[in-house]
């Protein structure tokens, strides 16, 4: 079963930026990574006027664009998928799934926290909070805190805790 | 097994326009349809700067955006998928798959042909040519010809020939 870790935090706390850093670092380490972003609304993807855009617009329930190196699929759904559903139905051949958001689901969470925003931890009381990236004044007992700007130690933690068959040691 | 029909034809013959008409008509009839478009190059999808775009750009092998009504997935692949692979790996719960292009594969084909372009049929010699949409001067024996601008009779043909459990009769 592919492990899932969620990057959570208030709006504009820097979730996407941290996720980018983690993905880049894990890919550098030879890991294969899937990411999931929730969108509450009917997002737009693809470019107006392109053939694939016209297919979907005409009413196709599923539209796929396939090339030798990349594939994209847009499909209608009849409900908001849980992370486990997305994993089981759509995701193959990766070592880890990182989500942006999904704080209400029961998967392990890393909270992005910046004191300058003067806010309390979102997941203070959440048993699934496994780490904090940022500078909390009073982190909960037993929850490690990592530097927002240095993804390496956080990725060591993620590899050790979530990716079983680590291909390399965890450094100093 | 979900049936596959390919709309083929020279560039600019009107493949996308015909596909749109067929999809609209089949959806009107209550059919669920998937479409597939091949892209020889590394196509662009998603909008620069969006979170999901940033995820993929950072190196994610798979990126998903999920909403209550729509889902999109972009993924790296290590080879050019055949239509059967795309069907078996990614497509569920539709009555028919319509592809734009894929003339080299061995699935049933409908060729778009317009005499004003003064070109010969692409699939004259192809045993998988099941119909022509347009105005060929000398269509091959046994291959029915349909009006490019009237999708209804062509959709009657597609339903009768490819969609097993037709929900309705085939018209007059």
Answer yes or no: is B122 within a domain.
yes
Q: Does the ipTM surpass 0.90? A: yes
Chain A positions in Cβ-Cβ contact with residue B60 (cut-off 8 Å): 23, 33-35, 98
* Residue A86 or B164, more confident: A86
Number of structural domains, chain A?
Answer: 1
Answer yes or no: is B66 within a domain.
no
Answer yes or no: is B128 within a domain.
yes
Closest by CA position to B36, among listed A76, A90, A55, A49? A55
Query: What is the crossing angle of helices A15-28 and B51-58, to 10°?
Result: 20
A33 min Cα distance to partner chain B (Å) = 5
pLDDT at B41: 76
pTM of the predicted model as reported, rounded to 2 decimal places? 0.89
Answer yes or no: is A142 within a domain.
yes
A141 min Cα distance to partner chain B (Å) = 31
Mean pLDDT, residues B72-79 taken together: 94
Residue B142: is its pLDDT beyond 50?
yes
pLDDT at A4: 98
Answer yes or no: is A59 within a domain.
no
Residue-wise pLDDT tens digits, A54-71: 999 999 999 999 999 999
Residue B167: is its pLDDT beyond 90?
no
pLDDT at A40: 77
Residue-wise pLDDT tens digits, B89-123: 999 999 999 999 999 999 999 999 999 887 789 99
Residue B136: is its pLDDT beyond 50?
yes
A105: CATH: 3.40.50.300
Residue A96: is its pLDDT beyond 80?
yes
Confidence of residue B165 (pLDDT cuts 50, 70, 90): low
pLDDT at B23: 98
The percentage of chain B sitting over the pLDDT mark of 90, rounded to a whole number, equals 78
C-alpha–C-alpha distance, residues A61 and A81, integer Å: 16
Q: Which of A9, A14, A70, A98 to mutate to test the interface with B (most CBs of B within 10 A)?
A: A70
pLDDT at B87: 97
B11 min Cα distance to partner chain A (Å) = 12
pLDDT at A117: 85
Residue-wise pLDDT tens digits, A134-148: 999 989 999 999 999
Residue-wise pLDDT tens digits, A99-158: 999 999 999 999 999 998 867 899 988 999 999 999 999 899 999 999 999 999 999 999
Residue-wise pLDDT tens digits, B43-56: 777 777 788 889 99
pLDDT at A153: 98
Answer yes or no: is B120 within a domain.
yes
pLDDT at B92: 92
pLDDT at B48: 79
A 10 A CB-CB count for A124 gives 13
pLDDT at B38: 92
Residue A3: is its pLDDT beyond 70?
yes
Answer yes or no: is B84 within a domain.
yes
Answer yes or no: is A70 within a domain.
no
Domain span at residue A94 reads 4-43+79-169
Residue A59: how many CA atoms within 13 Å on its side-chain side?
17
C-alpha–C-alpha distance, residues B6 and B100, integer Å: 6
Chain B positions in Cβ-Cβ contact with residue A32 (cut-off 8 Å): 61
Could you give the angle at the alpha carbon of A99 between the alpha carbons of B51 and A20, nearest 5°? 50
Closest by CA position to B4, among listed B104, B106, B74? B106
C-alpha–C-alpha distance, residues A67 and A138, integer Å: 50
Q: Do A67 and B80 touch (CB under 8 A)?
A: yes
Query: What is the crossing angle of helices A15-28 and A151-162, to 10°?
Result: 70
Closest by CA position to A98, among listed A1, A19, A161? A19
Mean pLDDT, residues B141-156 taken together: 96
């Amino acid at each position: 079963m592919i492990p899932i870790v969620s990057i959570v935090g208030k709006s504009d706390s820097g979730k996407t930026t941290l996720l980018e850093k983690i993905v880049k670092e894990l890919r550098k380490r030879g890991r294969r990574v899937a990411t999931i972003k929730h969108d509450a609304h009917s997002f737009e993807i693809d470019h107006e006027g392109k053939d694939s855009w016209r297919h979907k617009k005409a009413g196709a329930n599923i539209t796929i664009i396939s090339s030798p190196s990349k594939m994209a699929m847009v499909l209608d759904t009849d409900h908001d998928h849980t992370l486990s559903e997305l994993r089981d139905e759509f995701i193959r051949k990766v070592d880890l799934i990182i989500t942006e958001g999904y704080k209400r689901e029961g998967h392990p969470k890393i909270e992005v926290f910046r004191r300058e925003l003067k806010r309390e931890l979102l997941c203070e009381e959440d048993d699934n909070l496994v780490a904090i990236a940022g500078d909390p004044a009073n982190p909960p007992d037993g929850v490690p805190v990592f530097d927002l700007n240095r993804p390496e130690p956080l990725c060591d933690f993620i590899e050790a805790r979530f990716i079983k068959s680590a291909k390399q040691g965890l450094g100093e």
